[in-house]
A and B are shown apart, each in its own frame.
Chain A
């Protein structure tokens, strides 16, 4: 610690990230590698801007992983999770089991005791959820076969950490215990550990049930009350509170916080606040994960590596190659296609962040000597740092040799929210549009800011999400990147213009159809570059006008034709006047002239044709000609 305090540290971390990540992205290396390199550069073996406290930062930043799992849970409907049960239990279970056994055997062959070997083997079987999921998401291949299977394995590993933490102390050997006896005493004993096994199970199940029940029945009403305050930061605070609360709750009974928030995420995946939660948590997750990767980079002990470069290199390659081979074989057994299997096996062939936790824990509990865990932690960190590089090699050099690369778009249908149409505002205006689309089988994602409204609509079985559509993150979460049309049916003209601006900037491919509250608003929308503008009262008032004409004795069809003509001319005039608007003087005179034109046209029609402007149905000229010339018709 250099003593310059929190702000200096924050400055160092943020500068490193802001410089390294864009460079890494530009070079096609991905953000994870960028963060890791930034960490190495500012770390104790680089510029020495951060020292040992990198470890503390890492523990803090691990919370990013917790948030990430919450977000993943949000995207995973319970239905989808159930569909993944095969890969999770089968593939995940086998992966952890076989890797542990193989690792243990290698350890014993290398001359370690079976306890050491088992502890190392089981720890090495875990992969890095943070690195793998972040990379897969960034490449947009989360929804492919490889992505889904990687996710399944990682999920199983995260679950497996709980029993591993429980069983690891049993491997303690007296020799190691004696050395570390003093250090164990100050680790806080979790109260649950004192309970008998059956009670422990009940507590754990109770907590899980509580999360599900709270998520299902409490979160909705609470968020509704918060949403009604219309204070955005309060909603963000509530979202953070939810995640942190669950993490604490899980931690208090010795369960993985990541698993708890994941569960909460799944429960809330069907909630109307899903997109809003996603939008609120996402930036925190991103920052914390970035911090985490920097910390991993900074924590690589180059001193130790320099002492025994050959040994560390051998262990790292043993870990990566060994895991790759086992994963590849499992992929074959589970019928992954070659290209997918390569992505899957390369992605998961590293040690994980739980490795740091487990190795420290093992040392504290006297399972492994500190000298050994130091090396092992270095091996895990290096293998993690190498993963983005290996995926890059696979992607750039190996994959192109197989022409079967799966297009991620094909799987896009799996997420039901990726609808072609997004409707912002589901009041009287938007709901009619939405219902017409629905009746014709067009999928729509609806966003609305009125929480009472949202609640009611959801009770009616309509998929509505709460949120302010002028926010980039919410539009993004609602699938604006993949949608084709954005309908703005909100009643607030300023808000509509705000959304247009956001959408034009971030999603230029979207066609925008906007409701205009009046003429002036229509001009503004035209200037903002909206493709289609619908004045909310035009059609209705014209229909009313038609009815008046009818009541006064006009023929129905004549009245209708007159209103249509009026409408076309009015729309045309709107566009002409929109261009004139900058020159205020021209506008006024044109506007006056426009109204005059309109009146004149209608007047002339009456005088010239008597009833309708449609000359083809008019025999005046024919009768005139017929009087003089009797040749035809």
Chain B
């Protein structure tokens, strides 16, 4: 509900770049046909200008990831997105395999590995549990940010900035209206990222992207 709070955003220390950011979404869902939330979230996502959508399980059903292809794609994009359901506090298997094989030593990290330096990265995840469960007092004992620390650290080691995640909590009891609202917000974020209309200073202070979109998205006049 706080996503629609109308707070006037006053952008400060924003460098408005004229060129467009390119986003690479690495999507992993082993049973998309059974998905409710993710299937809706990715609807028409490929039509967003500047977004490259990669359905990893569809491209590599036998998990034989083409390292060359994936690395070339990474080089072409500015913002990397991992989108997946939050299985056992982590990614589905193919996305782990992707990290193991694509982020090679000497390419992504290590003395010579600077291919990804300066890029941004974030996760888009859906969780069955509600937000309250992901607290110190909740049954999941850790917050989402804490649980995402392995990916955060991976990004860090590769010289990328790991932004707060976009989280759809409580998917088990989510109404179709809620799902479609998440989709609108997600696509709004993607568009803003492509156009570089994000107040990163503000965003960095949030636990997740989709707390208050109006606060972090700058509305440019004349657009």
Given A625-B110, A632-B157: 9 more A-B contacts, CB < 8 Å: A564-B62, A564-B64, A614-B101, A615-B104, A616-B100, A616-B104, A616-B105, A621-B105, A633-B105
In the complex, the chain B residue whose C-beta lies closest to that of A622 is B105
The answer to whether B102 and A616 have CB atoms under 8 Å apart is: yes
In the complex, the chain A residue whose C-beta lies closest to that of B63 is A564
Bound: A622/B101 CA distance, A: 14
Cross-chain pair count, CB within 8 angstroms: 35
Q: Which of B62, B64, B110 contacts A621 (CB 8 A)?
A: B110
**Contact partners of A622 in chain B: CB under 8 A:** 105, 110
The answer to whether A615 and B105 have CB atoms under 8 Å apart is: yes
Q: Mark contacts of B157-185 with chain A using CB atoms, 8 A cut-off: 1 yes-contact digit, 0 otherwise.
A: 10000000000000000000000000000
Closest-CB distance, B185 to chain A (whole angstroms): 34
Question: Is A617 in contact with chain B by the CB < 8 A criterion?
Answer: yes
Question: Is B109 in contact with chain A by the CB < 8 A criterion?
Answer: yes
Question: Is B6 in contact with chain A by the CB < 8 A criterion?
Answer: no
Closest-CB distance, B59 to chain A (whole angstroms): 13
**Contact partners of B64 in chain A: CB under 8 A:** 564, 568
The answer to whether A616 and B157 have CB atoms under 8 Å apart is: no
Question: Is A607 in contact with chain B by the CB < 8 A criterion?
Answer: no
The answer to whether B101 and A632 have CB atoms under 8 Å apart is: no
- Of B100, B106, B110, B157, chain A has the most CB atoms within 10 Å of the CB of B110
Question: Is A233 in contact with chain B by the CB < 8 A criterion?
Answer: no
In the complex, the chain A residue whose C-beta lies closest to that of B99 is A616
Question: Is B103 in contact with chain A by the CB < 8 A criterion?
Answer: yes
Question: Is B67 in contact with chain A by the CB < 8 A criterion?
Answer: yes
Question: Is B12 in contact with chain A by the CB < 8 A criterion?
Answer: no
Question: Is A186 in contact with chain B by the CB < 8 A criterion?
Answer: no
A544-572 interface with B by 8 A CB criterion: 564, 568
6 CB < 8 A contacts A-B: A615-B67, A621-B105, A621-B106, A622-B110, A625-B110, A632-B110
Closest-CB distance, B38 to chain A (whole angstroms): 22
In the complex, the chain A residue whose C-beta lies closest to that of B100 is A616
Bound: A629/B103 CA distance, A: 19
The answer to whether A617 and B100 have CB atoms under 8 Å apart is: yes
Question: Is B137 in contact with chain A by the CB < 8 A criterion?
Answer: no
Closest-CB distance, B106 to chain A (whole angstroms): 5
Bound: A420/B55 CA distance, A: 25
The answer to whether B101 and A616 have CB atoms under 8 Å apart is: yes
B8-54 interface with A by 8 A CB criterion: none
**Contact partners of A633 in chain B: CB under 8 A:** 105, 109-110, 157
Given the known inter-chain contacts A564-B62, A568-B64, A632-B157, please indicate yes or no for A617 contacting B111, CB distance below 8 A. no
Bound: A105/B62 CA distance, A: 78
In the complex, the chain B residue whose C-beta lies closest to that of A615 is B104
Q: How many residues of B contact A (CB 8 A)?
A: 14
In the complex, the chain A residue whose C-beta lies closest to that of B108 is A616
**Contact partners of B104 in chain A: CB under 8 A:** 615-616
Closest-CB distance, B101 to chain A (whole angstroms): 4
Q: Which of A564, A614, A616, A625 contacts B111 (CB 8 A)?
A: A625
**Contact partners of B109 in chain A: CB under 8 A:** 632-633
Q: Mark contacts of B109-152 with chain A using CB atoms, 8 A cut-off: 1 yes-contact digit, 0 otherwise.
A: 11100000000000000000000000000000000000000000
In the complex, the chain B residue whose C-beta lies closest to that of A618 is B105
Bound: A617/B105 CA distance, A: 10
Closest-CB distance, A569 to chain B (whole angstroms): 12
Given the known inter-chain contacts A564-B62, A568-B64, A615-B67, please indicate yes or no for A625 contacting B105, CB distance below 8 A. yes
In the complex, the chain B residue whose C-beta lies closest to that of A623 is B105
Bound: A445/B157 CA distance, A: 56
**Contact partners of A616 in chain B: CB under 8 A:** 67, 100-105
Closest-CB distance, A446 to chain B (whole angstroms): 26
Closest-CB distance, A325 to chain B (whole angstroms): 52
Bound: A621/B102 CA distance, A: 15
Closest-CB distance, B150 to chain A (whole angstroms): 13
Bound: A131/B100 CA distance, A: 70
For the complex of A and B, the 6 pairs showing the least CB-CB separation, nearest first, are: A616-B101, A616-B100, A615-B104, A621-B105, A622-B105, A564-B64
**Contact partners of B106 in chain A: CB under 8 A:** 621, 625
B63-92 interface with A by 8 A CB criterion: 64, 67
**Contact partners of A621 in chain B: CB under 8 A:** 105-106, 110
**Contact partners of B157 in chain A: CB under 8 A:** 632-633
In the complex, the chain B residue whose C-beta lies closest to that of A617 is B100
The answer to whether B62 and A617 have CB atoms under 8 Å apart is: no
The answer to whether A629 and B101 have CB atoms under 8 Å apart is: no
Bound: A183/B107 CA distance, A: 104
Q: Mark contacts of A590-626 with chain B using CB atoms, 8 A cut-off: 1 yes-contact digit, 0 otherwise.
A: 0000000000000000000000001111000110010
Closest-CB distance, A575 to chain B (whole angstroms): 16
The answer to whether A617 and B110 have CB atoms under 8 Å apart is: no
**Contact partners of A614 in chain B: CB under 8 A:** 67, 101
In the complex, the chain A residue whose C-beta lies closest to that of B64 is A564
Bound: A629/B113 CA distance, A: 14
Bound: A310/B157 CA distance, A: 99
- Of A615, A616, A617, A633, chain B has the most CB atoms within 10 Å of the CB of A616
**Contact partners of A632 in chain B: CB under 8 A:** 109-110, 157
Bound: A568/B62 CA distance, A: 12
Bound: A262/B103 CA distance, A: 70
Bound: A587/B70 CA distance, A: 31
In the complex, the chain B residue whose C-beta lies closest to that of A632 is B157
Bound: A615/B62 CA distance, A: 18
**Contact partners of B110 in chain A: CB under 8 A:** 621-622, 625, 632-633
Bound: A625/B110 CA distance, A: 8
Closest-CB distance, A378 to chain B (whole angstroms): 65
**Contact partners of B62 in chain A: CB under 8 A:** 564
Closest-CB distance, A624 to chain B (whole angstroms): 9
Bound: A71/B103 CA distance, A: 64
Bound: A568/B111 CA distance, A: 32
Bound: A615/B101 CA distance, A: 7
Bound: A564/B65 CA distance, A: 11
In the complex, the chain A residue whose C-beta lies closest to that of B110 is A625
Closest-CB distance, A174 to chain B (whole angstroms): 81
**Contact partners of A617 in chain B: CB under 8 A:** 100-101
**Contact partners of B103 in chain A: CB under 8 A:** 616
The answer to whether B102 and A629 have CB atoms under 8 Å apart is: no
Closest-CB distance, A617 to chain B (whole angstroms): 7
